[in-house]
């Protein structure tokens, strides 16, 4: 992998990740851009102890542009995008409309491919491995920034999730605080250690592997399973068998096996609802894919893992976070986890 860091016209960082070590990335961003003027503010919700980010400048971000105006496609034909080069493998840049910036963290956009009409599931294993290397590199570098507590790599896919750009991409948030879900995991894991003497996540993985009814895929170094108390209709957690805090600690063998398993999971998600009568050309399954990594401090009991889930509960029906979920943060799942795992096994290639 070759990593090339450069600057966009407004001073934001752009990083190219290339499979070809000889790739030259010296194309200049010739747009006339004003400096990014974003001033997100962190406010503490005194009733819950959770931090809330106020980022009103994001109201002006690009919203569903036509394909020929996509800001994530390569530049060319007289059109200039966020990527000055005429082609790229993987590109990462600072978000022009960040939720977090300056002394309150950082937000980055990860473009998985230059192909506008593709998706992550369309990547080859070699290209998916390159994305993994980009996530790992950004985790290492952002974790070293002053004030950053946790690095969160994720992908939102589909308009049902709220995606405003169709180009295949994800995001990375460098949080200046420990987000609520991670803080809750830390508290539960610490209690689990005190009560049982074991690690919560090692025990969850062992229990899932023993209860084979919820296992979707199992490899030499990774296992994908539906959690016992899944919150979403179709939710899969992907764990390395060896507990590590973040992506930077994976071995070469673990990195090599990951792309094939992850791509197979994404492709199974896309086949889920076509089995229910959706036409082959139906919109791909919307999903959120989220890497959970240990924060800088206090997360010694946490384990790196990926959580993949869809808001679709059946063909043509979505799982809405209504009164119970949004109002009380108490989930109700319409699909039994064992049934979800069986469906995901059944739609194998």
285 within 8 A of 307, measured Cβ to Cβ? no
CA distance 324 to 273: 26
User: CA distances (Å), 9 to each of 27, 148, 260, in order?
Assistant: 11, 26, 37
Neighbours of 346 (CB within 10 A): 11
CA distance 278 to 129: 31
Adjacent-strand bridge partners of 290:
154, 307
35 within 8 A of 11, measured Cβ to Cβ? yes
Question: Which of helix, strand or coil describes residue 6?
Answer: strand
For this structure, is 292 an active site residue?
no
CA distance 298 to 180: 13
CA distance 344 to 265: 8
- Spot the catalytic one: 169, 192, 292, 305: 169
DSSP H/E element including 184: helix 180-196
CA distance 146 to 230: 35
CA distance 37 to 97: 9
User: CA distances (Å), 198 to each of 34, 193, 201, in order?
Assistant: 53, 5, 9
Residues annotated as part of the active site:
169
């Amino acid at each position: 992998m070759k990593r090339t860091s450069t600057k966009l016209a407004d001073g934001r960082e752009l990083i190219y990740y290339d499979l070809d070590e000889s790739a030259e990335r010296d194309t200049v961003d010739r747009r006339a851009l004003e400096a990014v003027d974003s001033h997100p503010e962190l406010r503490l919700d005194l009733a819950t102890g959770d931090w809330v980010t106020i980022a009103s400048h994001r109201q002006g971000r690009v919203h569903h542009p036509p394909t020929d105006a996509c800001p994530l496609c390569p530049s060319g034909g007289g059109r200039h995008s966020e990527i000055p080069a005429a082609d790229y493998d993987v590109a990462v840049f600072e978000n022009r409309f960040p939720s977090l910036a300056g002394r309150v963290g950082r937000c980055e956009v990860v473009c998985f491919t230059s192909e506008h009409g593709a998706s992550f599931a369309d990547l080859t294993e070699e290209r998916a491995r390159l994305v993994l290397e980009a996530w790992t590199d950004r985790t290492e570098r952002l974790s070293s920034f002053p004030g950053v507590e946790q690095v969160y790599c994720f992908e939102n896919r589909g308009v049902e999730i709220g995606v405003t750009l169709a180009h295949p991409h994800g995001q990375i948030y460098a949080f200046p605080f420990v987000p609520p879900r991670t803080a809750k995991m830390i508290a539960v894991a610490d209690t689990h250690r005190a009560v049982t003497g074991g690690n919560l996540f090692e025990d969850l993985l062992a229990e899932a592997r023993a209860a084979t009814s919820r296992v979707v895929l199992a490899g030499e170094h990774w296992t994908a399973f539906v959690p016992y108390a899944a919150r979403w209709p179709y939710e899969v957690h992907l764990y390395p068998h060896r507990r590590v805090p973040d992506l930077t600690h994976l071995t070469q063998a673990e990195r090599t096996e990951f792309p094939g398993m992850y791509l197979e999971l994404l492709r199974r998600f896309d086949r889920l609802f076509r089995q229910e009568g959706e036409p082959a050309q139906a919109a791909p399954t919307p999903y959120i894919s989220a890497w959970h990594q240990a924060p800088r401090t206090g997360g010694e009991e946490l384990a790196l893992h990926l959580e993949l889930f869809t808001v679709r509960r059946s063909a043509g029906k979505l799982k809405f976070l209504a009164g119970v979920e949004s109002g009380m943060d108490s989930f109700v799942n319409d699909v039994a986890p064992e049934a979800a795992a069986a469906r995901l096994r059944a739609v194998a290639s």
